[in-house]
Amino acid sequence: MIQLEKVSKLYGTVIGANDLTVELGAGAYGIVGPNGSGKTTLINLLTGQLRPTLGKVSVFAQDPWRNRKLLRRIGLCPATDVLYPNVSAYEWVTYQVRLHGLSQADSKQWATESLAQVQMTENMHRPMGEYSLGMRQRTKIAQALAHRPELLILDEPYNGLDPVGRHQMTQLLIQLSEQGTSLLFASHVLHEIEEITSSFLLIHGGRLLASGTASEVEQIIADTPQEVVLIGPDVPKLIPHLADQAWVDSIQLLAERTELRIGLRDPSNLYHSVADWISNDQLQIDQFQTANSNLTAVFESLLRHHRGESK
């Protein structure tokens, strides 16, 4: 379904995608990466909005930049908001479907059906200026679905949705996936994607750092040096304890001696020891940040793995 061969995209001197090579068959995939990691660049390359500086992009065996007819088979829900204040969701979605060349009658019918799928039937004739962020998000998803695409690309689709809305959306996406629609779901929140698919692409700095199932990615992280950050006025007092440990790779004292960065291969050793040190020495430590609680740190770990720094 999707093939990227050594694809790079430069914005002047800034690199948006860096030597991406990936092949994806039909199915559901999550694109995970922190903000600014290159997820949207990848989506824009796949939808023919950007032309790769180097390499080749192919979707359904066609070049999306050169063949715009391909867009009929792709639905995109971008991350950006949409607001035409005095137009209703029904008018807008009908218009969007009509731009694919469908008849007026079919456009109206399909728009009504997709708005029903996202629970917008009741409000679809109200002007969009009166909508909440969640309602606008549902409308955006409806326009992506309305022309019945084979590949649905969603960029941060849960933005603005309340927990009920998120659950409904998850159920809808699972249902679409089961019905044979391929999904590409970009998010910086891992667990949002995990509910829908177990296949991930992890992107950071425009590079594809890892791909595979959650357990495969976890194994890569486990094999990669990780960083733990401790913050508090007494963090320098932990240094004598840490300096003696074989599992500690590096220690950095930062931010006016209140932030301690510890590089280690297996954080479990630290988790076993640090509570005792703090308790015995009566230390004040305000924050404990691990790679697992901080997606950027996970990606930093993966980046080190990507550079060949893992054991």
Q: List contacts with other proteins (CB under 8 A).
A: 16, 35-41, 44, 47, 49-51, 68-69, 71-72, 74-76, 78-87, 91, 95-96, 98-101, 104, 143, 155-156, 186, 188
The whole-angstrom separation of Cα 188 and Cα 295 is: 8
Please, what is the angle between helix 89-98 and helix 104-117, to 10°?
A: 130
Rounded least distance, CB 12 to other proteins, Å: 12
Rounded least distance, CB 230 to other proteins, Å: 30
Cβ atoms of 233 and 258 closer than 8 Å: yes
In 143-231, beta strands by DSSP E: 151-155, 182-187, 199-204, 207-213, 226-231
Rounded least distance, CB 112 to other proteins, Å: 17
CA separation (Å) from 161 to 38, 40, 158? 23, 20, 5
Q: Which is nearer to other proteins, 15 or 231 (CB)?
A: 15
Rounded least distance, CB 67 to other proteins, Å: 10
Q: Which is nearer to other proteins, 36 or 233 (CB)?
A: 36
Q: Which is nearer to other proteins, 97 or 196 (CB)?
A: 97
Q: Which is nearer to other proteins, 101 or 236 (CB)?
A: 101
Radius of gyration of the chain (CA): 23
Rounded least distance, CB 56 to other proteins, Å: 17
Please give the angle made by the CA atoms of 104, 183 and 88, to the nearest 5 degrees. Answer: 35
Q: Which is nearer to other proteins, 47 or 123 (CB)?
A: 47
The whole-angstrom separation of Cα 151 and Cα 141 is: 13
- Which two three-digit tokens encode residue 154? 């969603």
Rounded least distance, CB 50 to other proteins, Å: 5
Rounded least distance, CB 166 to other proteins, Å: 19
Query: In 3D, which of 85, 161, 159 has the Cα closest to residue 120?
Result: 161
The whole-angstrom separation of Cα 132 and Cα 141 is: 14
Rounded least distance, CB 207 to other proteins, Å: 15
- Which two three-digit tokens encode residue 204? 């950071």
The whole-angstrom separation of Cα 306 and Cα 308 is: 5
The whole-angstrom separation of Cα 286 and Cα 233 is: 8
The whole-angstrom separation of Cα 1 and Cα 56 is: 14
Rounded least distance, CB 14 to other proteins, Å: 9
**Cβ-count burial of 287 within 10 angstroms (0-12 exposed, 13-18 middle, 19+ buried)?**
exposed
Query: In 3D, which of 95, 96, 74 has the Cα closest to residue 148?
Result: 74
